[in-house]
């Protein structure tokens, strides 16, 4: 789930149980429904309306917390799991659902009747089942399951810590350390020392980092019956190219991964070679962005975002021998994110391939299960095999979400 305040993905948070369903073939377990997620739990562990703590797929819990000891055989990783119950039935469980009592906490209600989980030993520690006070990723030490994802997707160091790293001699002083324990003190120090000029090895401030919300977290979106544009989701590494107008006709060009900006092809990244600069050179992104600024004189900057995929990027190589790039975002300063069809028309003319458009007037089904069936109904346009999923986007490009195939996750990410 995306944290609306930080726009970073949260891996653990408080939820409410929407439903309890039987699992065919199982005598001891049942299915807890949370939004669009279906999670196997012990019978009688939860009732409808109870709060619980949900851990997303592809996350990892710390081995130092005894509450997670039962995950030792799985290396403390939470993945999509398929259960057959001795051939009596099939059930795919996505994520982990735990009770407040597993951590020595309790369920409760506040004075206004809102459901929460709280620590009976500390009245200041409580988490609501909705809103911004629900997230427990940091509290419980949850990280991404894969080392690669922790480098590519984990949140960047916060702005205050970066500021302290740039001025260590100042931030070691006792008075400054005292100030940094208070929000108003942090704000003062950031005003004095936090601002810096844009540099090519610093993240361009006008660029939003890429991530799509999962439909399972926002199933109510399916009530929107306007036509949507459906594109294939490509399993790769998020890549950003952006250019901003500078002084006296010059331009500033940036090449970025999900969280890191690279000022040259020699700057190391997670991979053996800098795949992001390789794509910049392969598709002539400097010239493409310069051309877009030339034909869009009112734009201050323009950004192309997409996936780098192929050998050594993810387990799925798409049967390629060389890495390739597919764009999924074209963002212009004075217009925002363009719709998928307009993006494709513009970028194809520039020699930049885009994610495949599967349907440009798709009406969303009523349930998450039906949408997953649609995902699995046709193979990947790229290599004719099982596809990772789809991205659904409104016609104007403003709203979007993703739906990922559980079967794909079992094959490539379990």
pLDDT digits (tens, 9 = 90+) for 120-151: 999 888 999 887 789 999 999 999 987 666 55
Q: Cβ(64)–Cβ(123) under 8 Å?
A: no
CATH topology of domain 215-412: D-amino Acid Aminotransferase; Chain A, domain 1 (3.30.470)
Label residue 106 by pLDDT band (50, 70, 90).
Answer: very high
Other C-beta atoms within 10 Å of 155: how many? 15
% of the chain exceeding 90 in pLDDT:
70
Establish how many alpha carbons lie within 13 A of residue 111's alpha carbon, considering only the half-sphere containing its beta carbon.
Answer: 0
| Least confident stretch, 84-88, 222-226, 381-385 | 84-88
Determine the average pLDDT of the residues in 154-167. 64
Cβ atoms of 74 and 157 within 8 Å: the answer is no
Mean pLDDT throughout 245-259?
91
Residue 90 has pLDDT above 60, yes or no: yes
Instruction: Please identify which residue in the block is written with the tokens 């992104």.
Output: 285
List the chain domain ranges.
Answer: 12-145, 159-193, 215-412
Checking if the pLDDT of 116 tops 60, the result is yes
What phi and psi, each to the nearest 5 degrees, are found at residue 225? Answer: -100, 20
Task: Please tell me the predicted confidence (pLDDT) of residue 291.
Answer: 97
pLDDT of residue 199: 47
Q: Which of 205, 409, 193 is nearest to 315 (CA)?
A: 409
Mean pLDDT of 221-238: 96
**Model pLDDT, residue 189:** 82
Q: What's the confidence (pLDDT) of residue 253?
A: 96
Contacts of 69 (CB under 8 A, 6+ apart): none
Share the mean pLDDT of the chain: 90
Nearest to 155 by CA among 11, 8, 55, 10: 8
Q: Read off the pLDDT band of 154 (50, 70, 90).
A: low
How many angstroms from the chain centroid is the CA of residue 143?
Answer: 13
* pLDDT for the residue 380: 97
Q: 360 near 226, Cβ under 8 Å?
A: no
Instruction: Give residues with Cβ within 8 angstroms of 403, minimum separation 6.
Output: 214, 215, 368, 371, 372, 375, 389, 390, 392
The beta-carbon contacts of 61-68 under 8 Å, at least 24 apart in sequence, are: 61/140, 61/141, 61/142, 62/140, 62/141, 62/142, 64/141, 65/140, 65/141, 67/98, 67/102, 67/103
How far apart are alpha carbons 201 and 263 in whole angstroms? Answer: 5
Contact yes or no for 58/79 (Cβ under 8 A): yes
Indicate the pLDDT class of residue 198, thresholds 50, 70 and 90. Answer: very low
User: Given a cut of 50, is residue 349 above it in pLDDT?
Assistant: yes
Tens-place pLDDT, residues 275-326: 999 999 999 999 999 999 999 999 999 999 999 999 999 999 999 999 999 9
Least reliable range by pLDDT among 8-22, 186-200, 246-260, 306-320: 186-200
- Here the tokens at position 248 are 């006296």
SS3 label, residue 192: helix
Inter-helix orientation angle 275-282/285-295, to 10°: 60
């Amino acid at each position: 789930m995306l944290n609306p305040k930080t726009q970073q993905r949260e891996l653990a948070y408080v939820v409410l149980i929407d439903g309890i369903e039987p699992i065919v073939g199982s005598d001891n377990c049942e299915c807890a429904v949370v939004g669009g997620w279906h999670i196997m739990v012990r019978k009688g562990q939860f009732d409808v309306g109870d709060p619980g703590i949900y851990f997303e797929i592809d996350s990892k819990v710390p081995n130092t917390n005894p509450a997670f000891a039962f995950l030792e055989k799985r290396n403390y990783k939470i993945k999509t799991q398929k259960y057959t119950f001795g051939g009596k039935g099939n059930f795919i469980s996505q994520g982990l659902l735990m009770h407040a009592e597993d951590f020595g906490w309790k369920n409760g209600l506040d004075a206004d009747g809102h459901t929460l989980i709280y620590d009976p030993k500390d009245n200041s520690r409580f988490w609501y089942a909705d809103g911004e006070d629900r997230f427990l990723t940091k509290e419980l030490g949850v990280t991404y399951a894969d080392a690669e994802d922790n480098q590519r997707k984990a949140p960047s160091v916060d702005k205050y810590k970066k500021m302290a790293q740039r001025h260590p001699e100042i931030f070691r002083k006792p008075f400054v350390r005292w100030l940094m324990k208070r929000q108003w003190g942090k704000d003062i120090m950031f005003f004095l020392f936090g601002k810096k000029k844009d540099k090519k090895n610093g993240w361009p401030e006008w660029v939003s980092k890429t991530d799509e919300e999962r439909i399972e977290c926002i199933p109510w979106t399916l009530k929107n019956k306007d036509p949507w544009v459906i594109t294939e989701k490509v399993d790769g590494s998020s890549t950003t190219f952006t250019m901003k107008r500078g002084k006296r006709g010059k331009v500033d060009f940036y090449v970025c991964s999900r969280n890191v900006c690279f000022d040259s092809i020699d700057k190391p990244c997670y991979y053996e070679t800098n795949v992001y600069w390789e794509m910049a050179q392969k598709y002539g992104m400097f010239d493409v962005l310069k051309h877009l600024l030339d034909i869009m004189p009112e734009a201050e900057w323009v950004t192309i975002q997409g996936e780098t995929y192929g050998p050594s990027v993810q387990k799925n190589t798409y049967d390629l021998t060389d890495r390739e790039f597919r764009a999924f975002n074209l963002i212009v300063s004075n217009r925002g994110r363009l719709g998928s069809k307009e993006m494709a028309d513009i970028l194809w003319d520039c020699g930049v391939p885009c994610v495949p458009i599967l349907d440009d007037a798709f009406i969303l089904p009523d349930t998450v299960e039906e949408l997953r069936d649609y995902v699995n109904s046709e193979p990947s346009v790229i290599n004719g095999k099982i596809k990772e999923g789809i991205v659904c986007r409104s016609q104007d490009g403003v709203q979007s979400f993703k739906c990922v195939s559980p079967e794909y996750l079992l094959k490539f990410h379990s």
